[in-house]
């Protein structure tokens, strides 16, 4: 079994989900007392969020590059960055290490293609929904990406940072996300991508009539597949 390197803490609420899903999947596949071999480096999210908000992405990159190097030195065979937004810095992080970096958007795009969907609605932080680093990765697979209105993008971004990253699950926010998803479906979305690793805490697979692509689960399952490869 290979050792999984988890670069987490953005926020720790969703990093916990990575750890849970990965170990559940290993147990499901191998049975008995089997669990994952993994290393976790968890950053201080307050520092990263400040760099996001003040557009100091290169400083954030330096923090994550050094964290990735520490995972490699610790014996990780490959790395997962346990957040969607910070994949804006994926090239810098991959360039800092000699081990594989499993990109969350690539893993998600492959799942969308397996489901034979061509047009999806993307929910996430404002950075993920509006900038090209994430949408472009999906579009490279021939997937058309729809995003919510500006007002709804603001609402989603706020819920992520003021509720979900703090472990707060609000029923009214869940209803708003259901409404936003229905609006995207009405404009042609054939599936909804939860493009923020905290969104799976709020949005469940039975919330709509189209497939929900939970990037946290997809990414974690891909890590298990890689770890168990012979």
Report the catalytic residues.
Answer: 83, 196
Q: Alpha-carbon distance 207 to 203, whole Å?
A: 7
Preceding peptide of 11 cis, ω within 30°? yes
Quickly list H helices, the chain. 12-30, 45-53, 57-74, 90-95, 104-114, 126-130, 132-139, 150-162, 171-186, 215-227
Taking a C-beta distance cutoff of 8 angstroms, is the pair 15, 4 a contact? no
Distances (CA, A) of 176 to 47, 154, 170, 171, 194: 29, 12, 10, 9, 14
């Amino acid at each position: 079994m290979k050792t999984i390197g988890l670069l987490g803490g953005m926020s720790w609420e969703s990093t916990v989900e990575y750890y849970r899903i990965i170990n559940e999947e290993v147990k499901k596949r191998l049975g008995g007392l089997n669990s994952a071999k993994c290393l976790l480096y968890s950053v201080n999210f307050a520092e990263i969020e400040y760099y996001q908000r003040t557009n100091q992405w290169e400083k954030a990159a330096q923090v994550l590059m050094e964290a990735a190097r520490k995972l490699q030195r610790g014996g990780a065979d490959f790395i997962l960055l346990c957040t969607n937004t910070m994949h804006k810095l994926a090239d810098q992080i991959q360039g800092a290490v000699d081990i594989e970096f499993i990109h969350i958007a690539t893993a998600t795009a492959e799942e969308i293609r397996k489901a034979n969907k061509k047009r999806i609605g993307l929910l996430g932080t404002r950075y993920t929904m509006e900038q090209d680093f994430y949408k472009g990765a999906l579009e490279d697979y021939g997937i058309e990406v729809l995003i919510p209105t500006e007002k709804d993008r603001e609402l989603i971004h706020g819920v992520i940072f003021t509720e979900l990253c703090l472990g707060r699950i609000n029923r009214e926010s869940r209803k708003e996300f259901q409404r936003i998803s229905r609006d995207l479906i009405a404009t042609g979305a054939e599936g909804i991508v939860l493009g923020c690793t905290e969104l799976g805490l709020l949005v469940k697979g039975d919330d709509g009539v189209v497939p929900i692509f939970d990037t946290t689960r997809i990414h974690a399952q891909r890590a298990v597949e890689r770890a168990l490869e012979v």
